Amino acid sequence: MTHNQQLSIIVPCYNEEETVALFVAETDRQTVDLPLELVYYFIDDGSSDGTLEAIKELSRQHPRIKYLSFSRNFGKEAALLAGLQAAKGDFIAVMDADLQDPPELLKQMYDEIQKGYDIVGARRTNRKSEPPIRSFFAKQFYKLINQISETEMVDGVRDFRMMTRQVVDAVLSLEEVNRFSKGLFSWVGFKTSYISYENRERVAGTTSWHFWGLVKYSIEGIVNFSETPLNIATFIGFITFIGSIFLGLFYVIKAFAIGDPVPGFPTLITILLFFGGLQLFCLGILGKYIAKIFLESKRRPVYIVREKNV
Ligand code: UDP
Ligand code: MG
């Protein structure tokens, strides 16, 4: 059956040899009544297993399977960008390869788009089958970032979403190298709707996220979408600077009035450490932002393609 309109599905893959075939089979099965022609864009993010072979095998069977393979692992954000740049079609969806993003939602997403929404996201109502400590920190991250950033980020929202061509073009018009997609999709605006679903486990393979990876990802999110840490640093620095002037005056006056009876060594050390620490803290925050500027100014490509069929 041929349809006039095309839905491109972007699938970032890192070591997903066991899941890609299952993914295509299940997604095809769940979308038979969708009045759209499906085209898959698999982005092999420098996998070290047989992912690329598995994808090529699929693309030999179906002409609607496109792929792009990176020269090394550039990260999921880079894979998403490559997919968005390569994808054609009127509607574009982003999905994980492990079937944690239920393909049956694609139909509902398309219905929402028909109703006039531009972006339809998927939102997990629970985080079961995820380590509790990870859920806890994830919750805290969303609380923090929504307090300190003007770009709203909804808790539980996955990268899984369907959007119109217009939205994709808007996201692609943002040329920054440091990409935090959750923030970018929210920043561009447009009419957004969310579909809730229960979390589910991967069909096969293992997650490539580790705790520190997620901590780093959170810091990226904060630094890319908020200037609050910079302001806090400036504020603390300013207050302590003023405070120390008064403290110095106080000691001078005290010394004139009643002399300096105690050598004052402990006080000195304490103050030294206090300011030393504070300065390092502020420098660290500043450094984080400067590092971003440094990366942006190099204008390096976000990814390098080694092989592709698109
Ligand atoms: N992924 C990727 N590059 C990476 C890490 C992950 O393209 O460096 C892909 C991975 O293959 C999967 C998706 O991103 O399709 C989500 O990864 P995963 O399932 O490991 O994360 P989780 O679902 O546990 O958050
Ligand atoms: Mg997953």
Q: Is residue 75 in contact with ligand 1, taking CB distance under 6 Å?
A: yes
Q: Cα–Cα distance between 217 and 211 in angstroms, integer? A: 10
Instruction: Say if 95 falls within a structural domain.
Output: yes
Q: Are residues 20 and 140 in the same domain?
A: yes
- What pLDDT score was predicted for residue 288? 78
Q: Is residue 14 in contact with ligand 1, taking CB distance under 6 Å?
A: yes
What is the average per-residue pLDDT within 98-107?
89
Q: Are residues 271 and 122 in the same domain?
A: no
Q: Are residues 171 and 259 in the same domain?
A: no
Instruction: Say if 220 falls within a structural domain.
Output: no
Q: Are residues 84 and 184 in the same domain?
A: yes
By most ligand atoms within 8 Å of CB, the mutation choice from 73, 76, 127 for ligand 1 is 76
Q: Is residue 294 in contact with ligand 1, taking CB distance under 6 Å?
A: no
User: Which residues touch 94 (CB under 8 Å, ≥6 apart)?
Assistant: 9, 10, 11, 12, 80, 83, 84, 159, 160, 161
Report the domain count for the chain.
2
CA of 91 to the centre of ligand 2 (A): 23
Residue span of the structural domain in which 128 resides = 6-210+301-308
Q: What digits encode the pLDDT tens for the residues 260-290?
A: 666 676 677 677 777 877 787 788 788 778 8
- What pLDDT score was predicted for residue 27? 92
- What pLDDT score was predicted for residue 159? 85
Q: Cα–Cα distance between 98 and 92 in angstroms, integer? A: 18
Q: Is residue 112 in contact with ligand 1, taking CB distance under 6 Å?
A: no
Instruction: Say if 99 falls within a structural domain.
Output: yes
Q: Are residues 184 and 287 in the same domain?
A: no
Q: Are residues 265 and 153 in the same domain?
A: no
Q: Is residue 96 in contact with ligand 1, taking CB distance under 6 Å?
A: yes
Q: Are residues 198 and 234 in the same domain?
A: no
Atom of ligand 1 nearest to the CA of 12: 7
Answer whether residue 1 shows pLDDT above 60.
no
Q: Is residue 156 in contact with ligand 1, taking CB distance under 6 Å?
A: no
CA of 281 to the centre of ligand 2 (A): 35
Instruction: Say if 217 falls within a structural domain.
Output: no
By most ligand atoms within 8 Å of CB, the mutation choice from 9, 14, 55 for ligand 1 is 14
What is the average per-residue pLDDT within 118-139?
81
- What pLDDT score was predicted for residue 272? 74
Q: Are residues 55 and 128 in the same domain?
A: yes
* Domain CATH for 81: 3.90.550.10
CA of 237 to the centre of ligand 1 (A): 40
Q: Is residue 118 in contact with ligand 1, taking CB distance under 6 Å?
A: no
- What pLDDT score was predicted for residue 2? 67
In 10 A of CB 125, how many CB atoms? 10
Q: Cα–Cα distance between 95 and 102 in angstroms, integer? A: 9
Any idea which residue has 């398309």 for tokens?
Answer: 110
Instruction: Say if 139 falls within a structural domain.
Output: yes
What is the average per-residue pLDDT within 34-51?
92
Q: Is residue 83 in contact with ligand 1, taking CB distance under 6 Å?
A: no
* Nearest of 108, 80, 99 to residue 199 by alpha carbon: 99
Instruction: Say if 113 falls within a structural domain.
Output: yes
Answer whether residue 13 shows pLDDT above 90.
yes
Q: Are residues 167 and 206 in the same domain?
A: yes
In 10 A of CB 142, how many CB atoms? 17
By most ligand atoms within 8 Å of CB, the mutation choice from 45, 96, 127 for ligand 1 is 96
The number of the ligand nearest the C-alpha atom of 68 reads 1
- The chain-wide mean pLDDT, for the chain, equals 84
Stated pTM of the model: 0.71
- State the pLDDT confidence band at 130, using cuts at 50, 70 and 90: confident
Answer whether residue 164 shows pLDDT above 90.
yes
Q: Is residue 98 in contact with ligand 1, taking CB distance under 6 Å?
A: yes
100, 124 Cβ separation under 8 angstroms:
no
Atom of ligand 1 nearest to the CA of 16: 11
Q: Is residue 12 in contact with ligand 1, taking CB distance under 6 Å?
A: yes
Q: Are residues 131 and 42 in the same domain?
A: yes
In 10 A of CB 310, how many CB atoms? 15
Q: Are residues 289 and 202 in the same domain?
A: no
